[in-house]
Structures are given as C-alpha cells and as structure tokens.
C-alpha cells in the first residue's frame, strides 16, 4: 500500500541534480557502511515500519521486518530519506490499519522547536503561503491569515538557541515523568530527533495499553492544561481558613512545582519580569518585600499576610509560573496510539543528522551538533543562498549569503536539505 504524504514544512525544495545526487550518495554510503549502527527497537517484528523515498517523495507503509539485519539490507537497497517505526505493537503490522490487531504502544513525547516560541525564530524562520504568497517570519501558522490556506513553504533553521529551548522543555518533561509519574531512568529513553528537537519514549507495561483518552490526561498534566491554580472554592470554616486551606501547596506534583517555581520566580524577579507576569501596580511592594514574601507566603502558606500582595496577585503569578514550569510538548504525538516515529540510528531527511539516543543523565551536556553528525569525511563546494551562522561537528560556519564556499560533507548535506545551498558546478 502506497500513500502520498503531504509535508507541511516543505521538503528541501527544488535543487539541481548534482545536489540531489550528492545527498543520495551520502545516504547510500551511510546505510551500506558496515560501521553504521542501527539499534533494533524492542519487539521489532511487532512494529509497523514506514519509509519516505527520496525521488518519489512517497511513503511506504505497513512494512514489517523480523530481524534488524533484514531491515539493514532493505535500507542499503532502497536508501530512504527517512525511516519510521510505530510506537505501537501489533499482532500483524503488515496488514491495513484496522486489521493489524493493536497490542499496545509506548508512551512517546515530541519536543520540537517548531512549537516553542524562541527569540531566534523571527530571525531564521520564514514561511510563505503556497496559495496566496503571503509570507511572514517566526513560527509557521496553522492557517494563512490572508486566505486561510493551510499549505506553506517554510524555511526554518535549527540553531543552538532553538535546541537549547527544546532541551529545557525536555528536562522539565523528564523531571515530571520521573518525580510525578515514577518512571525510572531505565524505562525512559531520550533521543535527539535529528532536526529541531528531542523525543522521549517510555517503555513500560503500565503505559503500554493506555488508550488515547488516558494519554490525553497525561498530556494535560505535562502541559498544565486545566490545572486549577489557587483554587479557593473549599467550603466550611471562616473565610480566612477557607483561603489558607485552598492555597496550601503541599510537596507533591504540581503543588511542589508551583511552590518551587514561585520561590524561584520571586527570588529573581525584576520589575520587568513582574510586568510580564501581569503584575504592575504592586510590583514595588513585591520587590521591597521579597524575603518576607518568600518566608510568610510561600514557606508558611499565609498568602494574604503581606500587605499589598493580594490573592489576585498570587493567582496571576501562579498562572504565569505554571506556564514556565509546564513542558511544551507537541500534544498530538503523545495521544496518537498508532504514531510512526523516526527510528533511532537513522538519518533525518531534512538535515542528514542522525536520530540518536543518549542517557537521560547526559541531557544537560548532550550536544546534538557534535554527536548526531553522520558524515565525517570529505569536503565539497556549495553555492549558499542565505544561511545564518551555524555550528556543526566542531566548526562554526557562516553567515553566508549568495556565495560559494567549501564546507565539510555534513554541513553541505545540511545546507542542501534545508534548501539553503546547491552543489556548485
């Protein structure tokens, strides 16, 4: 069964034949090199595999491989631009969707700079509506503000700032999965996606059979959706007692996160930070009484004990802190129990970088622009249209604009696949 997939973010665009041949040959070499390691997912034979082919830009789906060596042979022959495998386990992954016999699925999270507003996206990301030609900078909208079209040519870039932002969200997610859900480091697997973000997979018997609704509950928890912050609707007792009871933040889950987050925020807050949190009128009171507020309000839970800092202020601050503490995951990935996700160890078609797993303990030190580099030999001359300064494999390149430069293979593949360069003739 062959299906065409429509790629919202746009493929590499049209490049000259020398460029597409060059990229194809590098991918061919990678998948045929004996040194290339592609770790087998657990229960490979129960997974559906999918492949995006270079030339046809079509998706081959519903493939199944009993052994990783069979898959290696296939990859060496077909040389796909992208390789995916299901998060789900099936009785028979090769048949059509509703006959597969769903047995369960890993719990997966996708954190992508595409969904995180960063100061740099206005600098290096541009989108153009393919229907009316309207264009803008920053995150690609869902629908065109002019014609409501939904297809865009997007030119994005992945810079250090983007990947750092994604890493911060990943760290918050992992902290929740471990502290609040109790998953162990062995059950959680962290990956660089090969492009603009990170994936976290949880493999555990308890999550395996969760349906989409249960997964949505987990998504809501992680994103803080529907969290009743400072809910003082508790009944009984005096008004003051009701308040203090309603606002007591105990030391578990979101309560703990809010408490730590509020403490952290107030300790470091400037006038501007408070204004961003929607607190303007009484910001001077807060800035003058930081120590007192930390002790009386946050430590002792006496929220109304500092004059000029009202319950309304706390509600506003905690809504803001909730946003800071929640993790900006791509919610649809987690709730989709049939999702195909890029396979570990394979190349990302938009960058030529590898999706790779790293130990959760190494998250802070992990460097995608060093560790995910797949092509380590050779240099090539490319004509670059426009690219900001970037870092790859221990070197810093650019910025380049309408110029021919000689760069290492990995940088050339990245530039070509991101639609920023062509092999120079």
What is the binding site for Zn ion (CB under 5 A)?
120, 129, 131-132, 134, 144, 146-147, 149, 159, 161-162
Residue matched to tokens 């050339």? 412
Computed over its alpha carbons, how large is the radius of gyration of the chain?
A: 25
Output the smallest distance, CB 358 to Zn ion, in A.
Answer: 21
Q: Among residues 129 and 298, whose Cβ is nearest to Zn ion?
A: 129
Element containing residue 54 per DSSP (H, E): none
| Cα 269 from Cα 258, distance rounded (Å) | 15
Whichever of 195 and 243 has its CB closer to Zn ion, that residue is 195
Residues listed for the chain? 425
Closest CB to Zn ion among residues 160, 319: 160
| Nearest approach, Cβ of residue 320 and Zn ion (Å) | 24
Cα(294)–Cα(290) distance, integer angstroms = 6
Nearer to Zn ion, 131 or 338 (CB): 131
Closest separation between CB of residue 398 and Zn ion, Å? Answer: 14
Rounded Cα–Cα distance for residues 400 and 319 (Å): 42
Tokens matching residue 364? 């802070």
CA pair distance 74, 168, nearest whole angstrom: 37
Whose Cβ is closer to Zn ion: residue 159's or residue 298's?
A: 159
> How does DSSP classify residue 297?
I
Residue 130 or 264: the one with the smaller Cβ distance to Zn ion is 130
Of 351, 342, 347, 377, the closest CA to residue 36 belongs to 347
Query: How many whole angstroms separate alpha carbon 393 and alpha carbon 407?
Result: 11
What are the phi and psi torsion angles at 339 (to 5°)?
-55, 140
Q: Which of 99, 100, 157, 102 is nearest to 125 (CA)?
A: 157
CB of 27 to Zn ion, least distance (A): 25
Least spacing, CB of residue 168 vs Zn ion, in Å: 13
Q: Which is nearer to Zn ion, 120 or 360 (CB)?
A: 120
Query: Cβ 134 to Zn ion, closest distance in Å?
Result: 5
Least Å distance between CB 391 and Zn ion?
12
């Amino acid at each position: 069964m062959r299906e065409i997939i429509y790629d919202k973010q746009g493929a590499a665009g049209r490049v000259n034949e020398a460029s597409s041949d060059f990229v194809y040959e590098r991918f061919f070499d990678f998948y045929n090199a004996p040194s290339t390691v592609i770790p087998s997912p657990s229960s490979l034979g129960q997974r559906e595999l999918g492949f995006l082919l270079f030339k046809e830009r079509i998706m081959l789906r519903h493939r199944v491989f009993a052994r990783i060596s069979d898959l290696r042979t296939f990859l060496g022959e077909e040389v796909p631009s992208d390789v995916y495998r299901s998060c789900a386990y099936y009785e028979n992954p090769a048949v059509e969707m509703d006959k597969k016999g769903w047995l369960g699925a890993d719990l997966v999270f996708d954190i992508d700079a595409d969904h995180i507003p960063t100061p740099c996206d206005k600098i290096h990301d541009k989108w153009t509506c393919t229907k009316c030609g309207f264009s803008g900078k920053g995150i690609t909208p869902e629908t065109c503000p002019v014609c409501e079209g939904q297809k865009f040519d997007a030119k994005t870039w992945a810079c250090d700032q983007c990947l750092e932002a994604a890493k911060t969200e990943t760290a918050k997610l992992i902290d929740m999965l471990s502290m609040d859900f109790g998953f162990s480091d062995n059950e959680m697997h962290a990956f660089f996606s090969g492009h603009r973000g990170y994936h976290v997979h949880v493999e555990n018997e308890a999550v395996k059979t969760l349906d989409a609704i249960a997964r949505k509950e987990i998504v809501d928890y992680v994103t803080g959706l529907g969290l009743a912050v400072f809910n003082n609707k508790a009944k009984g007792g005096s008004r003051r007692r009701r308040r203090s009871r309603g606002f007591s933040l105990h030391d578990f889950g979101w309560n703990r996160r809010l408490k730590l987050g509020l403490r952290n925020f107030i300790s470091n807050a400037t006038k501007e930070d408070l204004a961003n949190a929607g607190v303007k009128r009484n910001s001077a009171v807060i800035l003058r009484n930081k120590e007192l507020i930390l002790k009386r309000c946050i430590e002792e839970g006496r929220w109304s004990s500092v004059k000029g800092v009202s319950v309304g202020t706390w509600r506003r601050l905690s809504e803001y802190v909730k946003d800071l503490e929640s993790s900006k995951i791509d919610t649809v990935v987690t709730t989709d129990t049939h999702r195909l996700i890029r396979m570990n160890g394979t190349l990302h078609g938009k960058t030529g970088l590898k999706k790779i797993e790293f130990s959760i303990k190494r998250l802070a030190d992990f460097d995608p622009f060093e560790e995910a580099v797949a092509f380590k030999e050779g240099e090539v001359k490319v004509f670059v249209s426009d690219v900001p300064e970037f870092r790859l494999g221990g070197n810093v390149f650019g910025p380049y604009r309408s110029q021919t430069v000689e760069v290492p293979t990995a940088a050339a593949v990245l530039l070509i696949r991101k639609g920023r360069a062509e092999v120079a003739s």
